[in-house]
Structure 1
Amino acid sequence: MTIDTTQAPRLTSLSHGGGCGCKIAPGVLADLMSRSALPKQFYAQLLVGTETADDAAVYQINDEQAIVATTDFFMPIVDDPYDFGRIAATNALSDIYAMGGTPVMALAIVGMPINVLPHDVIAKILEGGESVCRDAGIPLAGGHSIDSVEPIYGLVGIGVVHPKNLKRNSDAQSGDVLILGKPLGVGIQSAALKKGLLDNAGYAAMVQTTTQLNRPGTVLAQIEGVHALTDVTGFGLLGHTLELARGAGLTASIDSDLVPLLPGVRELAEQGIATGASARNWASYGTQVDLGENVSDAMRSLLTDPQTSGGLLVSCQPSAIQQVLETFKGHGFSEASVIGRMQPGNAKVAVK
């Protein structure tokens, strides 16, 4: 029997937040994790755990192979169920690429208001996620589902990486340049969408960038001179750059004029369009960011804007710039740009 979807509620109307804007604020998350009374255990094979807020866990199984494991899920950022599934799946697999790994398998995480959403709508969400896995060349091999109040979808991603190609977010070096793979502004676009202020071109740009797999990460990790990798997601560009700075004990300098932006988002930001997560991000880490006098409130909103399925952030020595940019552009990331550098100083971000 075909289910009538004409009366289906908008997906975004069923959730209090959307995409990576749903993340717990970084300051709150750090406080929660610090409250564990259990002693930390040491595992020699665990190459990456929770110590540096990296993108995925990495466990070495032999001299040439390590497992990369991650999970990511959230509530709808768009109303189209197929697009929601695609965006959530692309975002989840990004963490594997951000470690320099190659995805090999995924499991679905599904929470749906089963008596509120038509089953055809839910099936489209699942279909969207499966299409991304197929594009990545991996099986969606199973998962887990629950009946929940808000719609939730995402993946557990499993990948592999050679230990020598593993790229942490904590290994940037003084003198490195910072290169961003995708333009910013997804969170602002999603806020505009909810207010009915995002035009068709803006929506198309948002879906295009959030469904573009960060495949370059696997290749970038093998380039001599690439020292650190991460992806820019819910904590915004400033938050994830600050993680690089903390891990390396350096100052990360960003030139805001060089940061690529999605079309129209600067104008939206200047109109005051922003997510609540942007303000929460700034409240969490703003004391560790030096903003230049010429950095506007709108630009601050863009720099703290939570990115769903955002771009890779690369820290590499200057001699690797051309190869890094060519790798990005060879995979269709035409707006990849040098945006700053790592330099001696306190662990902070300085923006001009």
Structure 2
Amino acid sequence: MGPGTLYEILKTLPVFEHPDLLVSGAKLDDAGVYRLNDDLALIQTVDFFTPMVDEPYLFGEIAAANALSDVYAMGGTPLTAMNITAFPTCSLDLGILRDILAGGASKVQEAGALLVGGHTIEDKEPKYGLAVTGTVHPQRVVTNQGAKPGDLLVLTKPVGVGIITTAIKAGEASRRAAREAADIMRQLNNKAAQVMVEVGVNACTDITGFGLIGHIYEICVGSNVGVEIEVHDIPVLEAALEYARMGLVPGGAYVNRRFLEEKIHWVGNVPEEIQDVLFDPQTSGGLLIVVPQDKANRLTEKLEAVGVKGFKIGRVTDEPSKIRLEGD
């Protein structure tokens, strides 16, 4: 579902408030956070979707990594997970479901969390994901609302996987491009989150269905700031640019663009295929970390030390909700 449609629905629903509800769904953040006591809060999130790859085990890995990512974006540690599954048992081999669940379980195990059950329904198309509970210290919650003018934006994964998965479905993606995208999507954001918490940052979100620009916009709204992005500094998968030129762009990218087009300012030359990538819905994308300028080098150095590349892509400004995208 696109951001515009979702916001229209959510604004009609009641807003739940409680002294211990530190982050609610009303704040457009990645997960909810509820304080249990002075030293412990729970992070709760859920995510599931239809397959974007043909390999069942890989699909399970990607869906689980995507769901776990919300906990990492809040600066937390996954504790437990529950499967959410829809599957057509009358038309597909049950071995496919077994492989999907095994792939998901492998990522839960890699995260150091516990798989404690789940729920399965009959459906015409397979769907899979997780409901995840994590923990965090109440005073160390990282939200998308703390960005300050002068902060730098650091992205931990390249963008463009949505375009590549669209090319996969069309039978146009090379084996190399498909594998590169899969490896990015199945990678947990745990190491990046650990470094982020250690260094101390002002805000964070993970890049998923609303695309890079959509999630930047959420930080702008949540923090009452603007951003300036250097487009040439954004890490982009080369194959995604090739497939975008071929018109292999997912429908969600156009939905994201329509919602955001009046909220952004293009400066200089930004080719159409790069614009497509910036709006491209990501699956299990990287963390977008907002860090004070004097900590930025320390953050990227520590990320590098644990095998994660941190890309400085822009800075925060004091112009509320203004997104400035600077090309060549």
Measured against the shorter chain, the TM-score band is over 0.9
Cα separation, 2, equivalents of 1:133 and 1:32:
31
User: Which residues in structure 2 correspond to 1:260-299 (within 5 Å)?
Assistant: 260-299=235-274
Aligned to 2:44: 69
Cα separation, 1, equivalents of 2:83 and 2:137:
25
Contact kept? 1:61, 1:67, Cα under 8 Å: yes
Contact kept? 2:195, 2:303, Cα under 8 Å: no
Aligned to 1:219: 195
Aligned to 1:351: 325
**Gapped runs of 5+ residues in structure 1?**
1-23
Which of 28, 41, 61 aligns to 2:5? It is 28
Which of 203, 217, 223 aligns to 1:248? It is 223
Partner amino acid for 2:186? T
Aligned to 2:105: 130
Cα separation, 2, equivalents of 1:331 and 1:25:
34
Aligned to 1:339: 313
User: Which residues in structure 2 correspond to 1:293-332 (within 5 Å)?
Assistant: 293-332=268-307
Percent identical pairs in the alignment equals: 38
| DSSP-derived class of the 2:198 partner | coil
Cα separation, 2, equivalents of 1:117 and 1:181:
37
Contact kept? 2:159, 2:235, Cα under 8 Å: yes
Q: Return the TM-score normalized by structure 1.
A: 0.90
| DSSP-derived class of the 1:222 partner | helix
| DSSP-derived class of the 1:97 partner | helix
Partner amino acid for 2:266? L
Q: Give 1:35 deviation, angstroms.
A: 2.1
Q: Give 1:150 deviation, angstroms.
A: 1.4
Cα separation, 1, equivalents of 2:317 and 2:61:
38
Aligned to 2:163: 188
Which of 98, 110, 113 aligns to 2:85? It is 110
**Gapped runs of 5+ residues in structure 2?**
none
Q: Return the TM-score normalized by structure 2.
A: 0.97
Closer/same/farther in 2, CA of residues 60 and 218 from structure 1, 3 Å limit: farther
| DSSP-derived class of the 2:158 partner | coil
Q: Give 1:141 deviation, angstroms.
A: 0.9
Partner amino acid for 1:289? I
Contact kept? 1:106, 1:158, Cα under 8 Å: yes
Partner amino acid for 1:295? V
Closer/same/farther in 2, CA of residues 51 and 222 from structure 1, 3 Å limit: farther
Aligned residues: 325
Aligned to 1:5: none
Cα separation, 2, equivalents of 1:92 and 1:168:
17
User: Runs of 4+ in structure 1 displaced over 4 angstroms?
Assistant: none
Cα separation, 2, equivalents of 1:292 and 1:270:
21
Contact kept? 2:28, 2:222, Cα under 8 Å: no
| DSSP-derived class of the 1:158 partner | strand
Cα separation, 2, equivalents of 1:42 and 1:187:
36
Contact kept? 1:103, 1:160, Cα under 8 Å: yes
Partner amino acid for 2:164? Q
Partner amino acid for 1:313? L
Partner amino acid for 1:163? P
Aligned to 1:165: 140
Cα separation, 1, equivalents of 2:17 and 2:27:
15
Q: Give 1:308 deviation, angstroms.
A: 0.1
Cα RMSD, aligned residues only: 1.1
